A = this chain, B = another copy of it.
Amino acid sequence: MPKLGMEPIRRAALVKATIDEIGAAGTLDITVSRIAKRAGMSSALAHHYFGGKDQIFLAAMRHTLTVYGAEVRGALAMADDNVSRLQAIIRAGFTNSNFRREVIAAWLNFYVLAQSSAEAQRLLTIYQRRLHSNLVYDLRPLIGDRADAAAERIAGLIDGLYLRRGLDQSSEMGMDATEHVLALLQAELKEHA
């Protein structure tokens, strides 16, 4: 019973199913059939809309990065001064939604994928650059020349703590990760005085 305009619906369902499947398996070693079944359609249809497994993965990756980007933008919109904007950026990285199993699995696997896929590499670089430039934008007025190096450290600590907390997804450790990065931020600001 073909309703028209199915394409965007199917694509969205496949992207979600892909992320869930990655989360369930912990790997990119999952089959198109399982993704399609989870999304409620045949594997042939998945191929029809995406063309191949690789493109399904890349779509899932784009989606993950888009969601993260939207979260950051949302948090930034509610902050006015430089310091609270910086705090918002930091907090956005450690929200509960970012600590769901599937999201963690997706990020880890995308890092791996970036080693063999130029497009994945590109997407990840965009994420890194955006985070860096967001940080520099608000750090510069506060600490001037030190902004770049400080941003490098803060971004590194965000990624590193996310990696460490993601591994043993034990309870709510996103809390303390946030505190650690905020502490680093304060140290970077105080250093200037």
Chain A residues within 8 Å of chain B by Cβ, number = 41
- A184 beta carbon closer than 8 Å to chain B: yes
Contact segment of A1-9, A40-48, A71-79, A151-159 = A151-159
Contact segment of A10-18, A58-66, A114-122, A134-142 = A114-122
Stoichiometry, as copies per complex, reads: 2
Q: Which residues of B contact A81 (CB under 8 A)?
A: none
- A149 beta carbon closer than 8 Å to chain B: yes
Could you tell me which A residues sit within 8 Å of B by CB distance? 25-29, 104-105, 108-109, 111-112, 114-116, 121, 124-125, 128, 149, 152-153, 155-164, 167-168, 176-177, 180, 183-184, 187-188, 191
Instruction: List 29 A-B residue pairs with CB atoms under 8 Å apart, sorted by A's residue number.
Output: A25-B116, A26-B112, A26-B116, A27-B28, A27-B112, A27-B116, A28-B29, A29-B29, A108-B115, A111-B111, A112-B112, A114-B167, A121-B167, A125-B168, A128-B164, A149-B180, A149-B183, A153-B183, A153-B184, A155-B164, A156-B157, A156-B160, A158-B160, A159-B164, A160-B160, A160-B161, A160-B162, A187-B187, A187-B191
